[in-house]
């Protein structure tokens, strides 16, 4: 079956077409139009500006996605759209376009949770997925490394979310830990603003941190690792950001010194990674997942990708480590269509009829919960 995905929850306008058969995904197109430059001068995403840009871009992006996939509206079997969480003015553009297309083209429509999309970015690229219980005894061990087996423990790290999500099966989510204040990506963005090095902060801080050489260490900056020793799986990044602010207030003139910026970026990033990795391993010890997964925009961070992999290898070598391709870590519609594929295959026939009427009722919710 052929699925159209639409994503407009924040500052990327995206449309994608996938072909989906027995949980195997073939990507036909994935067009992403980013508004990053527009929002950079404000140091963050301005919701009404984002909506205006989505409105301008959504039809050209859709047309290009259909053209690249050599797909006509009639070839589509399903329309899917992010209906939350996110910025309401931005979300409304995507959901209203999707509802209109569903009505006019007479195609079923489903709403997808944005974070569910990030998680399912790990199931793209034709990976087949079987739960370990379905495997014959002889294959169980050998498949452990190649298959994504349940239970999965997923570390979700984006601009709006930081959560440890336990999945016992497809589409079954239990949040076992989360941030009590800022999300990890939000902390990267706010620290970059304090250091006055640009927006979005994640990729910029990560670039500076890559240039860090311990032998050049000059200032001896030591930042806290908030909640690392707490006996739970929750996070807090707001205090870490404030610690960076106090540190820079001690040496305002050093903000112009590249070596100092490199050192503080490295120390901040390392503090964030230490907490993320340590809490993920702690949760894995309790829940014994067969797969540990990374998802969301911060999953593009090369330090995090490597250090989480190393920690899993060292502490639980039998556990598979799954990370999304770099290309699909940020917001995109292919991940939304992929999640929709798994939903559709688990939707009963009678229910599928009703989905044709969803254009009337599909809700948009800024605080949609992962269920
Ligand atoms: O998932 P995403 O694209 O949007 C949301 O759903 O929020 O995540 C965006 C976040 C931003 O905060 C951005 O700074 C961060 O992901 N990010 C990174 C990196 N690339 C993007 N953070 C750390 N290192 C990176 N390389
Ligand atoms: Zn996102």
Asked if the model's pLDDT at residue 193 lies above 70, the reply is yes
Asked if the model's pLDDT at residue 144 lies above 60, the reply is no
Q: How far is the CA of 233 from the centre of ligand 1 (A)?
A: 21
Backbone angles phi, psi at 155, to 5 degrees: -90, 110
Asked if the model's pLDDT at residue 82 lies above 70, the reply is yes
CA distance 11 to 286: 37
CA distance 151 to 169: 7
Q: How far is the CA of 185 from the centre of ligand 2 (A)?
A: 10
Asked if the model's pLDDT at residue 139 lies above 60, the reply is no
Ligand 1 pocket (Cβ < 6 Å) reads 10, 118, 158-160, 185-186, 188-189, 200-203, 206, 296-298, 300-301, 330-331
Say whether 76 sits in a helix, a strand or coil.
coil
CA distance 68 to 74: 16
Q: How far is CA 251 from CA 153, 189, 194, 215, 309, in A?
A: 41, 21, 13, 21, 35
- To test the pocket of ligand 1, the residue of 40, 185, 307 to mutate (highest count of ligand atoms within 8 Å of its CB) is 185
**pLDDT at residue 371, as a whole number:** 86
Asked if the model's pLDDT at residue 325 lies above 70, the reply is yes
CA distance 47 to 53: 10
What's the CATH code, domain 2-122+328-361?
3.30.420.40
Write a three-state SS string for 273-308: HHHHHHHHHHHHHHHCCCEEEEECHHHHCHHHHHHH
Ligand nearest to the CA of 157: 1
Q: How far is the CA of 185 from the centre of ligand 1 (A)?
A: 5
**pLDDT at residue 134, as a whole number:** 47
Sheet holding 12-21, edge to edge: 24-34, 12-21, 2-7, 78-84, 109-113
Q: Residue 302 — very low, low, confident or very high, per pLDDT cuts 50/70/90? A: very high
Q: How far is the CA of 84 from the centre of ligand 2 (A)?
A: 10
- To test the pocket of ligand 1, the residue of 84, 91, 122, 159 to mutate (highest count of ligand atoms within 8 Å of its CB) is 159
**pLDDT at residue 349, as a whole number:** 87
**Bridging pattern class, strands 152-157 and 291-295:** parallel
The neighbourhood of ligand 2, an ion, using CB within 5 A, equals 158, 331
pTM higher than 0.85 = yes
pLDDT digits (tens, 9 = 90+) for 335-364: 999 999 999 999 988 888 889 899 999 999
Residue nearest to atom 22 of ligand 1 (CA): 202
pLDDT digits (tens, 9 = 90+) for 250-267: 988 889 999 999 999 999
Residue nearest to atom 7 of ligand 1 (CA): 159
Residues of each domain in the chain carrying CATH 3.30.420.40 = 2-122+328-361, 134-323
Q: How far is the CA of 158 from the centre of ligand 2 (A)?
A: 6
User: What is the architecture of the domain spanning 134-323?
Assistant: 2-Layer Sandwich (3.30)
Q: Residue 299 — very low, low, confident or very high, per pLDDT cuts 50/70/90? A: very high
- Mean pLDDT taken over the chain: 93
Atom of ligand 1 nearest to the CA of 188: 14
Q: 247: which 2 tokens?
A: 């540190």
Q: Which residues contact 332 (CB under 8 A, 6 or more apart)?
A: 7, 12, 14, 16, 30, 32, 121
Asked if the model's pLDDT at residue 140 lies above 90, the reply is no
Atom of ligand 1 nearest to the CA of 302: 26
Atom of ligand 1 nearest to the CA of 192: 14
CA distance 276 to 155: 8
Asked if the model's pLDDT at residue 284 lies above 50, the reply is yes
């Amino acid at each position: 079956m052929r699925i159209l995905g639409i994503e407009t929850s924040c500052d990327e306008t995206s449309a994608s077409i996938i072909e989906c058969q027995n949980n195997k995904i073939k990507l036909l197109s994935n067009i992403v139009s980013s508004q990053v430059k527009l929002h950079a001068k404000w140091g963050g995403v301005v919701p009404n500006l984002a909506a205006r840009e989505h409105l301008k871009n959504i039809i050209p992006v859709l047309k290009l996605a259909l053209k690249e996939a050599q797909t006509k509206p009639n070839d589509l079997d399903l329309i899917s759209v992010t209906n939350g969480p996110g910025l309401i003015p931005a979300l409304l553009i995507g959901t209203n376009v999707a509802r209109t297309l569903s009505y006019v083209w007479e195609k079923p429509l489903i709403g997808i949770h944005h974070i569910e999309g990030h998680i399912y970015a790990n199931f793209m690229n034709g990976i087949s997925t079987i739960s370990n219980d379905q495997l014959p005894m002889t294959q169980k061990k050998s498949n452990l490394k190649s298959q994504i087996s349940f239970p999965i423990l997923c570390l979700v790290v984006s601009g709006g979310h930081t959560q440890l999500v336990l999945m016992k099966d497809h589409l079954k989510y239990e949040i076992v830990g989360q941030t009590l204040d800022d999300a990890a990506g939000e902390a990267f963005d706010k620290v970059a603003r304090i250091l006055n090095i640009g927006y979005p902060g994640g990729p910029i801080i990560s670039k500076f941190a890559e240039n860090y050489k311990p032998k050049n260490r000059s200032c001896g900056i030591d930042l806290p690792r908030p909640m690392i020793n707490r006996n739970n799986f929750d996070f807090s990044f707001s205090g870490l950001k404030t610690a960076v602010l106090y540190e820079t207030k001690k040496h305002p003139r050093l903000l112009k010194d590249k070596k100092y910026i490199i050192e503080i970026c490295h120390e901040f990033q390392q503090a964030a990674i230490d907490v993320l990795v340590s809490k993920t391993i702690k949760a894995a010890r309790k829940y014994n997942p067969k797969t540990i997964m990374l998802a969301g925009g911060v999953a593009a961070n090369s330090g995090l990708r490597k250090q989480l992999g190393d920690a899993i290898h060292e502490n639980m070598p039998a556990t598979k480590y799954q990370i999304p391709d770099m290309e699909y870590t940020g917001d995109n519609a292919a991940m939304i269509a992929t999640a929709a594929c798994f939903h559709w295959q688990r939707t009963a026939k009678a229910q599928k009829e009703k989905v044709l009427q969803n254009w009337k009722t599909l809700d948009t919710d800024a605080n949609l919960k992962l269920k």
